[in-house]
């Protein structure tokens, strides 16, 4: 078992891909470069990397994840949907026990609502940097500062057998 992004080539290719999404505006439930939200961004990136199969409509089953106040729709998207559509049986997502163990490429899920339900996601890029799509802004590189870090509820790492 090893992290997919342990390979420097995979990191470089992923960073190039992120650059193509930089500046794309936020659009709730959007799924293209004319507008996208933080969760669909994760799915699109995995599709473009060839890690997921199918199209985003099939993969993304959550009808309106952000408005859910009690149900962990965003985490269900990762726990069930992404795993069902992994392109190779070699891939799987491993839960990371603590934010202190983050590595390049880890998928972060934040509970920023008062309900404690996860309603934001990002990708960790190392050196306290993340890439995400923010409401009323766009897809961007950002710092994983204290305010973000304390809201991490779950983290997953893409692994290879």
Residue 81: is its pLDDT beyond 70?
Answer: no
- Quick one: pLDDT at residue 152? 92
Q: Please, which pLDDT band fits residue 58 given cuts at 50, 70 and 90? A: low
DSSP assignment letter at 56: H
- Quick one: pLDDT at residue 92? 82
Q: Please, which pLDDT band fits residue 157 given cuts at 50, 70 and 90? A: very high
Q: Quick one: residue 50, left, alpha or beta (phi over 0 = left, psi -120 to 50 = alpha)?
A: left
Percent of the chain with pLDDT over 90: 45
**Where would I find the H helices in the chain?**
8-21, 38-48, 56-59, 73-76, 83-84, 146-149
Query: pLDDT tens digit string along 101-152?
Result: 899 999 999 988 777 778 889 999 999 999 999 988 899 999 999 999 999 9
Please, what are the domains in the chain?
Answer: 2-160 (3.90.1720.10)
Read off the pTM. 0.87
Question: Which of 26-30, 41-45, 53-57, 115-119 has the weakest average pLDDT?
Answer: 53-57
Strand partners, 95: 156
């Amino acid at each position: 078992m090893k992290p997919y992004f342990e390979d420097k080539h995979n990191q470089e290719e992923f960073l190039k891909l992120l650059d193509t999404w930089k500046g794309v505006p936020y659009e709730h439930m959007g799924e293209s470069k004319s507008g996208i939200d933080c969760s669909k961004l994760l799915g699109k990136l995995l599709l473009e990397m060839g890690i997921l199969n199918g199209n985003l409509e099939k993969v993304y089953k959550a009808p309106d994840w952000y408005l859910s106040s009690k149900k962990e729709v965003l985490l269900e998207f990762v726990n069930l949907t992404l795993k069902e559509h992994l392109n190779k049986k070699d891939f799987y997502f491993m839960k990371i026990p603590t934010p202190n163990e983050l590595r390049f490429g880890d998928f972060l899920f934040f509970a920023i609502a008062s309900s404690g339900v996860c309603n934001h996601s990002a990708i960790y890029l190392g050196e306290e940097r993340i890439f995400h799509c923010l409401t009323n802004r766009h897809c961007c590189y950002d710092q994983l500062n204290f305010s973000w870090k304390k809201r991490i509820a779950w983290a997953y790492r893409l692994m290879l057998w």
